[in-house]
A and B are shown apart, each in its own frame.
Chain A
Amino acid sequence: MVTLRTSLRVMPAFWFALPIILLAGGYGTALYPSDHYGLGATAMGTGALPFIAGFTAATAAWEGARLRRAVWWSPAVRSQLEVAGWAVLPSVLVGVLALLVAVAVLLVRSGATVPDLTLIAVGVLDLVAWAAVGFAAGILLPVPVAVPVGILLPFVWLAFVPAMYPVWLRHLTGMFRDCCGLNEALAPAAVVASVLVDIGVIVAAAVLVAGWRSMRQRGGSGRARAIPIVASGLVLVLTLRVGVGLVSGMTYAPVVTRDQAQLTCRERAGLTLCLWPEHAPEADALAAVASDVRSRWLAAGIDAPAIFTEAARSVAPAGSLAFGVSGTAPDDVIRALAEAMTPPYPVCIDPRTGTQMGTTGAGAMTWLQAWYAAAGGMSPGRLFEDYGYEQGMPGTTLDPLPTVDALWKVSPEARRAWAAHAAALVATCEEVELDLTVRP
């Protein structure tokens, strides 16, 4: 609009700025980002995009509809791009501000200071794309249709597509809330794919609007007006196809293993502890707890590795313990180390359906973790809180803690044998009886 005062008075993007920013901030308080990890916190912030993009697209649709009736078809000196750009600028700016607020809240809660600028740039591009879609809807559709389309379309794309199979579809959306633990980095393929799709959406919207206008200026018929629809559809299909090629086969998380060179290792009491830079401020506290846990494990007859590392299990050095921890409270660290000591759940495929299935042996996981936590020195209260009265384990007792008590009463060899048996149960795809009786 011509003056800022006019814009503030008539543009819904400004009317609804405060609610959407507050909503984004509230969203940031509802999640649990990784400690000090700017990338993880920023990625989590992109989870606010479904409703922020809805706001951006709907308000842009409103502006498109405002111009459509009065001025869009007039012979302006300024380009359509400039006219459209100024019309949707408030929608994009408020959307970006809301995204930044969500990210800022998560950064504060994670204790990180620096956001990931690549992810923010992708988020901004995402909002520009949705503004383009909304504006195009406003130009081409009646306002009672355009605004709901502006609200619903981003929500469907950003909230429903990530819930669909195949799971890698979500990486086309620009929403990366499943990234990243401390030992993970954002997958470049997912970034490139979502940027490509965003650019495709922007180009498709521009082709549609500009083509439609050009056809109208030349007295185009209904059939001729189908040309921009087909052309923009082709742009969309093409970019989606390339994007799919980039992300197909990925898991639900748009991540790759983090560069191991960023790990810093230190030695303490025979233990080598390797931590990510984000945990450098807590290195002393973590090292103290970790070396104490290792000493207790050795004393209990548990074969504890000499290297504890925050590297991902898939790339950790052979014989090392790959763990991930959030917080420095001793019980939190003990729990993280106990979880790291257990084998991963196996990937078991049901031969009848060809899909992944659960296993009966998986029930042994809690028992095994409870033992390692208890042996590592977890406080009795936390032990009971985390592992007491385990529910729903058919074929065995419901409480791992009596088993833990029994393990304290047997020899180290018997404990090792029990742990090896429990680990084997966890790791098998066979249907097994969950017998976790402690034998002397």
Chain B
Amino acid sequence: MTTLRFDGLSFSYGSGGLGRGPRTRVFEDFSWEVPAGRTVLLGPNGAGKTTLLGLGASALMPATGDVRLGAISSSSRRERAAFRRAVGWMPQQVRPIAGLTCREQVAYAGWLKGLDRRAAWEAAGEALERVDLAAEAGRRTSQLSGGQQRRVGLAQALVHKADVLLLDEPTAGLDPNQRARFRDVLREISRDVPVLVSTHQVDDLTDLFDTVVVMDHGHLPFSGTPDAFMALAPAGSAHPAEAAYGTLVAGD
């Protein structure tokens, strides 16, 4: 199975406005290899989770270092198309494309990822089936609920049959029923490819993920199995996952 690897990454954001303020450094010489299976990335706001997934998808480009999928480099102009074809990314905000139905939006995402129009249309139908949204294929994305729109986002990440999936806060803003449904979908899609999920939700970690990674200020203070993560919680904790998390990261 192909692995996604971050090699010596540096990345910072400029300040807004006229850019007179200092840059905000997110990563400095950051290296990490995404484990096989389902990996959850936990961390406080501003820890760098979204930036890491953006770099992994090559939506963002590092100042130094490289992101590689197997032998394919995202920094190489020549290899970037192949890299992007191999990575599925669901951004934090899934935005409806004005006027398009679910299937059209997913098919358009497939076309952007290099599928021809006919193949994209077929693949969009399959992707919507996988996220249990086939019944809504003909509805405009903008008319769907928040949970359904996030599943459209997931279908967009799946449509081109990527070798690795990066999902940024896929359950943010969903109610408990929608989250449960989303987890079922996630189990189904992660059978074949490694999945890295960034989230604030720490429930069901042991049930759903193979690896737990905690990120804080561009560093990874913890990476291990869910059981090892839970073991960090003080004995007798009412909410062991939150307690374990609290031992690694100061409050948000």
Q: Return chain A residues, CB-CB under 8 Å to B49.
A: none
Q: Looking at the complex, which of B100-108, B189-197, B233-241 is the stretch in contact with chain A?
A: B100-108
The 8 closest A-B pairs by CB, nearest first: A221-B14, A221-B19, A223-B19, A10-B99, A77-B114, A222-B19, A76-B112, A219-B13
Contact among B26, B84, B98, B117 with A76 in the assembled complex (CB-CB below 8 Å): B84
A149 CA / B87 CA spacing, docked (Å)? 37
A223 CA / B81 CA spacing, docked (Å)? 29
Chain A window 54-90, contacts with chain B (Cβ cutoff 8 Å), 1 for yes, 0 for no? 0000000000001101110111111000010000000
Q: Return chain B residues, CB-CB under 8 Å to A225.
A: 19
Nearest-neighbor residue (CB-CB) of A218 within chain B = B61
Q: Does B120 contact A (CB under 8 A)?
A: yes
Q: Does B23 contact A (CB under 8 A)?
A: yes
The reply to whether A10 and B87 contact each other, CB–CB distance below 8 Å, is: no
Q: Looking at the complex, which of A1-9, A307-315, A359-367 is the stretch in contact with chain B?
A: A1-9
User: How many chain B residues have a CB neighbour from A under 8 Å?
Assistant: 44
Q: Does A220 contact B (CB under 8 A)?
A: yes
Q: Return chain A residues, CB-CB under 8 Å to B13.
A: 219, 221
Q: Return chain A residues, CB-CB under 8 Å to B18.
A: 222-223
The reply to whether B19 and A77 contact each other, CB–CB distance below 8 Å, is: no
* Distance between B166 CB and nearest chain A CB, rounded to angstroms: 10
Q: Return chain A residues, CB-CB under 8 Å to B14.
A: 219-224
Q: Does B17 contact A (CB under 8 A)?
A: yes
Contact among B58, B100, B124 with A10 in the assembled complex (CB-CB below 8 Å): B100
Q: Return chain A residues, CB-CB under 8 Å to B21.
A: 221
The reply to whether B99 and A78 contact each other, CB–CB distance below 8 Å, is: no
Q: Looking at the complex, which of B88-96, B173-181, B222-230, B244-252 is the stretch in contact with chain A?
A: B88-96
The reply to whether B85 and A77 contact each other, CB–CB distance below 8 Å, is: yes
Q: Does B182 contact A (CB under 8 A)?
A: no
* Distance between B217 CB and nearest chain A CB, rounded to angstroms: 16
Contact among B12, B60, B99 with A217 in the assembled complex (CB-CB below 8 Å): B60
Q: Return chain B residues, CB-CB under 8 Å to A223.
A: 14, 18-20
Q: Return chain A residues, CB-CB under 8 Å to B71.
A: none
Q: Return chain A residues, CB-CB under 8 Å to B108.
A: 1-2, 71
Q: Return chain B residues, CB-CB under 8 Å to A69.
A: 95, 97-98
State which residues 35-93 of B face A: CB under 8 Å: 57-61, 63, 81, 84-85, 87, 89, 91
Interface positions of B (Cβ within 8 A of A): 11-21, 23, 26, 57-61, 63, 81, 84-85, 87, 89, 91, 95-100, 104-105, 107-109, 111-114, 117, 120-121, 124
Q: Return chain A residues, CB-CB under 8 Å to B61.
A: 214, 217-218
Q: Return chain B residues, CB-CB under 8 Å to A10.
A: 98-100
A401 CA / B41 CA spacing, docked (Å)? 98
Contact among B26, B58, B104, B112 with A3 in the assembled complex (CB-CB below 8 Å): B104
A221 CA / B12 CA spacing, docked (Å)? 10
Contact among A2, A74, A217, A219 with B107 in the assembled complex (CB-CB below 8 Å): A2
A77 CA / B59 CA spacing, docked (Å)? 11
The reply to whether A75 and B59 contact each other, CB–CB distance below 8 Å, is: yes
* Distance between A179 CB and nearest chain B CB, rounded to angstroms: 41
Nearest-neighbor residue (CB-CB) of B124 within chain A = A2
Q: Return chain B residues, CB-CB under 8 Å to A76.
A: 84, 112-113
14 A-B pairs in the complex with CB atoms less than 8 angstroms apart: A1-B104, A3-B107, A6-B104, A9-B99, A69-B97, A71-B108, A77-B81, A77-B114, A78-B112, A218-B63, A219-B23, A219-B60, A222-B17, A223-B18
Q: Return chain A residues, CB-CB under 8 Å to B87.
A: 75
A221 CA / B17 CA spacing, docked (Å)? 8
Chain A window 200-232, contacts with chain B (Cβ cutoff 8 Å), 1 for yes, 0 for no? 000000000000001001111111111000000
The reply to whether B97 and A70 contact each other, CB–CB distance below 8 Å, is: yes
The reply to whether A217 and B23 contact each other, CB–CB distance below 8 Å, is: no
Q: Return chain B residues, CB-CB under 8 Å to A221.
A: 13-16, 19, 21, 23
Contacts A3-B117, A219-B14; A75 near B99 (Cβ below 8 A): no
Q: Return chain A residues, CB-CB under 8 Å to B26.
A: 219
Q: Return chain A residues, CB-CB under 8 Å to B58.
A: 75
Q: Return chain B residues, CB-CB under 8 Å to A222.
A: 14-19
Contact among B16, B17, B84, B120 with A75 in the assembled complex (CB-CB below 8 Å): B84
A56 CA / B11 CA spacing, docked (Å)? 39
Q: Return chain A residues, CB-CB under 8 Å to B89.
A: 74-75
Q: Return chain B residues, CB-CB under 8 Å to A219.
A: 11-14, 23, 26, 60, 63
Contacts A2-B107, A223-B19; A74 near B121 (Cβ below 8 A): no
A385 CA / B58 CA spacing, docked (Å)? 76
Q: Return chain B residues, CB-CB under 8 Å to A75.
A: 57-59, 84, 87, 89
